Amino acid sequence: MSASQSSSSAQAPPSDVEASRAKISEAKAQAFRHTLAKYDLNEDILQKIHDTFVEIAKDAGQIMKGAERKSLSSAAIKDNTTDLVTKYDKKIEEDARLRLHNVFPAIEFLGEETFGAGTVLSDKPTVVLDPIDGTLNFTRGVRYCAVSIALVLEKKPIIGVVYSPFEGELFTAIRGKGSHRTKMNDEGSVIEKVQLPLPEHYGRPMPNLKGCLLGFEWGHKREGPNWDLRTQVLIWLLAANGAMCKSIRTRGSCALDFCNVALGEFDAYWDCDAKVWDVAAGWCIVEEAGGIVASVNPGDWQPTMEGRVYFPIRKAEPEEQKAVVGEFWAHMGERRFQYGATGTLKDPEEQPKERKTWFSYFRASIW
């Protein structure tokens, strides 16, 4: 072997930047272990909780796939005709609650269907469950719906499991362990398991919104100041004299939209009407895939889980992530979406308001 070959085969010493990143990563890991210990948790217990979540999600998926289509047409209305609940939502949540209480009795539980007004997250370990995210899709036979389960500690998600039974896709994450997508066949056998983001998506340039494919959900509230602002921003994102992003996809499941950001299929996703059970699991999956979660309201790089305004961005160079968020914020200017935290304050939409036509949205000067 020549001297040059020997030199090239030797492992290069880490750069100052790499060494600094490794030092920061280890410091964060130590701090996380210390936080876990405060609540009598450790990495082995987290793995057990994660595995239990996966089994619960799979069992819930079997309930969803076995649902009687005729009974789905009689789904009950909650807030309005866009917000539905079925007997399967309720069964999945009750089964999960009882099972988790038997195995982890010290962990608190917050579920969409048993949520009570005034309930807020505490710092204690809490399971946050959406039994069927995308219930409207579920009732219509649209495959884009999922079970979403998270463990939240000190109001931050540390385990996330999202299972799409009709697509056979299981998304999982544990703080510090990365995110994964497992594809399964109809019998539940694993076809493949890959770490996120998918390699074909990571590394794609993301200099601005113009190059982005975005996810978005309309939510349930269809009038009021937040609705007006949301519609105006949506038009700006699409318009030739606005950001002119590649396109915007509206699929009907916030949890799976977060997972699409983690995959790298969506460059970003914005939502300003979701609840904590919609985002908790997906939030963990995005962050463990190298993404970030900012707020759609300018200046807030660390939104709260109950704040109702979310802007997850896929893994990219930090300056690219900041550029996309900054461009969105620059358009928002002094405007803000205003929601009460989940379960606490009334939303502005619940107050009397002036009705507007679709023409008024398009006529508004928003650029």
pLDDT at 119: 84
pLDDT at 358: 38
pLDDT at 356: 42
Residues of the chain with pLDDT under 50: 1-9, 343-367
pLDDT at 258: 98
Backbone angles phi, psi at 161, to 5 degrees: -135, 120
Known binding positions for Mg(2+): 112, 130, 132-133, 278
Known binding positions: 112, 130, 132-133, 278
User: pLDDT tens-digit profile of 97-124?
Assistant: 999 999 999 999 999 988 877 788 999 9
Domains and CATH numbers, the chain: 38-195 (3.30.540.10), 209-363 (3.40.190.80)
CA distance 36 to 89: 31
Residue in the structure block whose two tokens are 């995005």: 286
pLDDT at 226: 94
pLDDT at 172: 98
pTM score > 0.85 for this model?
Answer: yes
Task: Say how many Å lie between the first and final Cα of the chain, rounded.
Answer: 64
- Number of Cβ within 10 Å of residue 183's Cβ equals 13
User: pLDDT tens-digit profile of 217-254?
Assistant: 998 888 999 999 999 999 999 999 999 999 999 999 99
Residue in the structure block whose two tokens are 């997906």: 282
CA angle (33 as vertex; 52, 31 as ends), nearest 5: 135
pLDDT at 129: 98
Whether residue 131 contacts residue 96, with contact meaning beta carbons closer than 8 Å, is answered with: yes
User: pLDDT tens-digit profile of 25-53?
Assistant: 888 899 999 999 999 999 999 999 999 99
The token pair at 5 is 């070959």
CA distance 77 to 72: 12
User: pLDDT tens-digit profile of 279-293?
Assistant: 999 999 999 999 999
Whether residue 287 contacts residue 142, with contact meaning beta carbons closer than 8 Å, is answered with: no
